Amino acid sequence: MLQFRDNEGAPTVINRADYTAPAYRIDTVELTFDLDPAKTRVLNKMTLRRNPDVPAQALKLDGEELNLARVLVNGQGTSFKMDGERLVLENLPEGNEPFQLEIFTTCAPVKNTKLSGLYTSNDSFFTQCEAEGFRRITYFLDRPDVMAMYTVTLRADKAKYPVLLSNGNLVDSGTLEDGRHFAKWVDPHKKPCYLFALVAGQLVAREQRITSRAGKDHLLQVFVRPGDLDKTEHAMNSLMASVAWDEARFGLPLDLERFMIVATADFNMGAMENKGLNIFNSKYVLANQATATDVDFANIESVVGHEYFHNWTGNRITCRDWFQLSLKEGLTVFRDQEFSQDMCFEPSARAVKRIEDVRVLRTAQFPEDAGPMAHPVRPDSYIEINNFYTVTIYEKGAEVVRMMQTLVGRDGFAKGMKLYFERFDGQAVTCDDFAQSMADANPSSSLAQLLPQFKLWYSQAGTPRLSARGSFDAAAQTYTLQFTQSCAATANQATKQAFVIPVLLGLVGSNSGAALPLTVQGSSDAAADNHLFVMTGDTASITFTGVAEEPVPSILRGFSAPVVLDFDYSDAQLLTLLANDPDPFNRWEAGQRLALRSAINAIVDTSASTGASVLNDAYLSAMRSVLRSPQLDAAFKELVLTLPGETYIAEQLDVVDPQRIHAVREAMRLQIATGLQADWEWAFDAHQDNGAYSPDATSAGRRALAGMSLSYLCLAATQSGDAVWPGKALQRFKDAGNMTDQANALQALVTSGHALATPALARFHAMFKHEDLVLDKWFALQAGAPDRGGNVLPAVRQLMTHADFNIRNPNRARSVIFSYCNANPGGFHRADAAGYVYWAERVIELDGINPQVAARLARALDRWKRLAEPYRSAAREALARVAAKSDLSNDVREVIDRALAD
């Protein structure tokens, strides 16, 4: 059981089972803001009604850090009391007639370092209301199932805040006395308060008028600070592509006359889908070839798409309660993944995107599912909902939606979406409602037949393991695969029921390397290249007939389910798949399995020195074939040649020695660098592009492979003392025509530990000292650099004293602190515990500023229990040091208490 303090402000556990409908409905909200950084006045006039389905009771409005000045009911003063921070009204009119409630409060945006509610950034005003920030603006029923119509009037100094924005349509504006002005906005759609937004400040906009398929005109705007307009073209293109895609793929049009995106430098997450007024972390808006890498361009397309797609999946149909968060997030991640794939056009680029998405799932979500914060896609309880914007809700949630599409087919999925909107448009609903719509729209599908069991994906936490064994009967020409599934216990879920696991299968001839046609025993279906086997029991088997040669099974093609697959492949079988599998995902996976196996053998064989050769010749020559292949795309090659990360390797081990993992992986990198040196030289030269910069997937893949080549060449050269390639890297760093090539060259110097890294870093800083997002890269590169003799932590402490460091800016804090604690295991896990001491200091420091950011950092030690000594004891001590603070936020308290729980 979790233990919590029992003093004032003791955290309350919120349980899904306790959901009750709101006792009051709010039909309309009229907000008037007098914006002032130190004291903003908020007048909130609401029309409310009692909910006749709920027993009569007092109205309890949420509030946080507000100064209450006045409350009127139907224009008259009224008695009220406070219950903690809640405003309680007991003497409301009887009956079910609507009544007016007027609440006048003030708040202090300039003091709001939590960046939740109304805050200032660079002398402008912004809001962030999801999940529970609206209560920091005014007293309200701050829950997603209360949907209202909003009218918003903003008043502010005209010179300081010339642009005044809120949701919906601008219906009036004008000047006021004393140099002030106003703007009045009406949102034509009802919405939950978490989608409310306002922005006020000195902003300029890129504008684009578009006409939808239905012939409607819309205005698209991307607002940024003056001087940043030259970095908005890609975001605007991404927005236009998103609008077109949702109409084409799902028949979902833009339902607003005006759609705005605003960038801010201070933002807790990536972006926010406020109705018609998306507010973005500038990292996901601003890009040009001189300041942003290919990865930045791809992320912008994906996040712009994601927020836009929320306009239907999240905004038109929202969540009944926050336990249903994956209803909008899992579905919308699935939609943005599909969008990014569709934007690739080339089939191989689609596969690359899929591999990247799976890599995120396996390196971030699988550990979450096995750690102290494990929770189902639809959680059963939480203390701080902001802690549940997780890879499980987002990425695993997207995999659950993807499995539905696999089970009902692409057209069936579109039908399910249509039915979902027919049934629930304008409502706040549940994950069950979505799954039921999918099933009902596809009544003969396996999803419909298996729906209650399928929904265990929503209720059971943990990553299932799927074990498979194959047997070939040469005489009968049959091949049988036997499967068993299991899932480890997670908090409050000791035993698990069997999941529905869609397993996409193929067979590859072990001699010929050919794709073998699949005929399933007992089925009359014609032979096919792929077979979708839907596993429902604890065990199952399938037999293929007419199998002419011993096959190598290609299981879980395209990663058809979010499970760990155990199959005792021989090296030879993996080499066959790596060379021949028509499924690009499993082709990549075969290479990963080979590398992982070598890594694990070297890690657990403590008699061997970590400098010994880890990778065998067969692996290196297979990698050479991939690198030199005329058929494969550069982006795919780069993925195959990327070794499994240290975190992913750690997840395969019961006892984790991070320094040994780091040393073994570094030894592998060096072997790849030196063993393939001539091939890297060829690859670097063969992937030069001199034409105009374009961030498309194919060009980006070529740059990625050239960057990887340069990195390995510098690594090999630094070891051998050869100066040629580091010199070339420095030259490339100076000459690069785009940030991708420039950052890759800099990274090659930094990660190889070459002395030229120092002048290159100084030059980079001088070049970009006025570009915040580029400076973030400069900080992150140093905090994430491979550790050499414990040099990274002192460098990190030094970076924190740099004039450009500012812990209050989440991007900057992440670029230094998170890059070190979360993304640099070799530097962070120090035998002298100094990394953990630094972590504890920063968690406590950040918690006093911004609990959401602090709680993310707190999770860096989630997996401490599996660490080997001395790391384990030192990590526990660091956790205990944080836990001992009596004034922690609920955010950090929940994460730390879970980590320390038995």
Which residues of this protein are in contact with Zn ion, per CB under 5 A?
329, 332
Stretch that binds ligand B3K, among 153-161, 206-214, 270-278, 788-796 (CB under 6 A): 270-278
| 131 cis-preceded (ω within 30 degrees of 0) | yes
Q: Is 386 in the site for ligand B3K (CB under 6 A)?
A: yes
Stretch that binds ligand B3K, among 269-277, 515-523, 545-553, 694-702 (CB under 6 A): 269-277
Is residue 758 classed exposed, middle or buried when 0-12, 13-18 and 19+ CB atoms within 10 A define those classes? Answer: exposed
Q: Is 272 in the site for ligand B3K (CB under 6 A)?
A: yes
Q: What is the dihedral of CA 330, 323, 391, 244, to 10 degrees?
A: 30
Whole-number minimum distance, CB 121 to Zn ion, in Å?
A: 21
Q: Which is nearer to ligand B3K, 133 or 786 (CB)?
A: 133
Whole-number minimum distance, CB 390 to Zn ion, in Å?
A: 12
Q: Is the dihedral of CA 450, 451, 452, 454 positive or negative?
A: positive
> Could you identify the residue written with the tokens 């905004």?
315
Whole-number minimum distance, CB 113 to ligand B3K, in Å?
A: 15
Q: Per-residue b/e over 198-212, b at no fewer than 16 CB within 10 Å?
A: bbbbebbbbeeeeee
Q: Which is nearer to ligand B3K, 310 or 378 (CB)?
A: 310
Residue 130's binding partner among ligand B3K, Zn ion, none (Cβ under 5 to 8 angstroms by kind) is ligand B3K
Find residue 555's DSSP bridge partners.
505
Q: Which run of H or E residues covers position 302?
A: helix 294-309
Q: Is 266 in the site for ligand B3K (CB under 6 A)?
A: no
Q: Which is nearer to Zn ion, 329 or 679 (CB)?
A: 329
Residue 316's binding partner among ligand B3K, Zn ion, none (Cβ under 5 to 8 angstroms by kind) is none
Q: Per-residue b/e over 320-341, b at no fewer than 16 CB within 10 Å?
A: bbbbbbbbbbbbbbbbbbbbbb
DSSP E strands, 108-214: 117-121, 124-128, 147-157, 163-166, 169-175, 180-186, 191-192, 198-201, 204-211
Q: Which is nearer to ligand B3K, 273 or 772 (CB)?
A: 273
Q: Is 142 in the site for ligand B3K (CB under 6 A)?
A: no
Stretch that binds ligand B3K, among 74-82, 268-276, 447-455, 578-586 (CB under 6 A): 268-276
Whole-number minimum distance, CB 386 to ligand B3K, in Å?
A: 4
Q: Is 301 in the site for ligand B3K (CB under 6 A)?
A: no
Q: Are 699 and 741 in contact (CB under 8 A)?
A: no
Q: Is 307 in the site for ligand B3K (CB under 6 A)?
A: yes
Q: Which is nearer to ligand B3K, 112 or 386 (CB)?
A: 386
Whole-number minimum distance, CB 365 to Zn ion, in Å?
A: 16
Whole-number minimum distance, CB 199 to ligand B3K, in Å?
A: 16
Of 301, 307, 399, 651, which residue is the catalytic one? 307
Q: Is 389 in the site for ligand B3K (CB under 6 A)?
A: yes
Stretch that binds ligand B3K, among 26-34, 303-311, 401-409, 570-578 (CB under 6 A): 303-311
Whole-number minimum distance, CB 452 to ligand B3K, in Å?
A: 29
Stretch that binds ligand B3K, among 156-164, 305-313, 409-417, 718-726 (CB under 6 A): 305-313
Residue 496's binding partner among ligand B3K, Zn ion, none (Cβ under 5 to 8 angstroms by kind) is none
Number of neighbouring beta carbons within 10 Å of residue 467: 16
> Could you identify the residue written with the tokens 């070459």?
754
Collapsing DSSP states into helix, strand and coil, what is residue 855? helix
With CB under 6 A as the contact rule, the residue among 36, 62, 273, 369 that binds ligand B3K is 273
With CB under 6 A as the contact rule, the residue among 131, 148, 428, 670 that binds ligand B3K is 131
Query: φ and ψ at 897, to 5 degrees?
Result: -65, -40
DSSP E strands, 514-550: 515-516, 519-520, 531-535, 539-545
Q: Which is nearer to Zn ion, 278 or 332 (CB)?
A: 332
Find residue 564's DSSP bridge partners.
465
Distance CA 80, CA 59 (A): 10
Please count the residues of the chain. 902
Stretch that binds ligand B3K, among 54-62, 265-273, 752-760, 798-806 (CB under 6 A): 265-273
Q: Which is nearer to Zn ion, 335 or 665 (CB)?
A: 335
With CB under 6 A as the contact rule, the residue among 130, 395, 772, 862 that binds ligand B3K is 130
Q: Which is nearer to Zn ion, 125 or 194 (CB)?
A: 194
Q: Which residues does 451 contact at the CB level (< 8 Å), separation at least 6?
A: 435, 436, 439
Q: Are 60 and 81 in contact (CB under 8 A)?
A: no
Distance CA 560, CA 482 (A): 17
# chain residues binding ligand B3K, by CB under 6 A? 12
Stretch that binds ligand B3K, among 241-249, 286-294, 306-314, 451-459 (CB under 6 A): 306-314
DSSP one-letter code for 552: E
Q: Is 384 in the site for ligand B3K (CB under 6 A)?
A: no
Q: Is 294 in the site for ligand B3K (CB under 6 A)?
A: no
Angle formed by the axes of helices 772-783 and 757-767, nearest 10°: 160
Distance CA 761, CA 752 (A): 14
Q: Which is nearer to ligand B3K, 319 or 599 (CB)?
A: 319
Angle formed by the axes of helices 325-342 and 397-424, nearest 10°: 100
With CB under 6 A as the contact rule, the residue among 30, 329, 651, 657 that binds ligand B3K is 329
Q: Which is nearer to ligand B3K, 324 or 460 (CB)?
A: 324
Whole-number minimum distance, CB 331 to ligand B3K, in Å?
A: 11
Q: Is 269 in the site for ligand B3K (CB under 6 A)?
A: yes
Distance CA 260, CA 168 (A): 9
Whole-number minimum distance, CB 196 to ligand B3K, in Å?
A: 13
Q: Which is nearer to ligand B3K, 310 or 893 (CB)?
A: 310
Residue 384's binding partner among ligand B3K, Zn ion, none (Cβ under 5 to 8 angstroms by kind) is none
Whole-number minimum distance, CB 313 to Zn ion, in Å?
A: 9
Q: Which is nearer to Zn ion, 329 or 646 (CB)?
A: 329
Q: Are 126 and 91 in contact (CB under 8 A)?
A: no
Number of neighbouring beta carbons within 10 Å of residue 382: 20
Is 894 assigned a catalytic role? no
Number of neighbouring beta carbons within 10 Å of residue 798: 11
Q: Is 306 in the site for ligand B3K (CB under 6 A)?
A: yes
Whole-number minimum distance, CB 531 to ligand B3K, in Å?
A: 35
Q: What is the dihedral of CA 303, 304, 309, 315, to 10 degrees?
A: 90
Q: Which run of H or E residues covers position 733?
A: helix 724-735
Whole-number minimum distance, CB 892 to ligand B3K, in Å?
A: 14
For residue 507, CA distances in Å to 520, 563, 701 come to 12, 20, 29
Q: Which residues does 188 contact at the CB level (< 8 Å), separation at least 6?
A: 168, 169, 256
Can you count the helices (H) and strands (E) in the chain?
A: 31, 34
Q: Is 336 in the site for ligand B3K (CB under 6 A)?
A: no
Residue 389's binding partner among ligand B3K, Zn ion, none (Cβ under 5 to 8 angstroms by kind) is ligand B3K
Stretch that binds ligand B3K, among 258-266, 267-275, 413-421, 470-478 (CB under 6 A): 267-275
Whole-number minimum distance, CB 314 to Zn ion, in Å?
A: 7
Residue 272's binding partner among Zn ion, ligand B3K, none (Cβ under 5 to 8 angstroms by kind) is ligand B3K
Q: Are 535 and 565 in contact (CB under 8 A)?
A: no
Q: Which is nearer to ligand B3K, 310 or 316 (CB)?
A: 310
Which residues contact ligand B3K (rule: CB under 6 A)?
Answer: 130-131, 269, 271-273, 306-307, 310, 329, 386, 389
Active site residues: 307
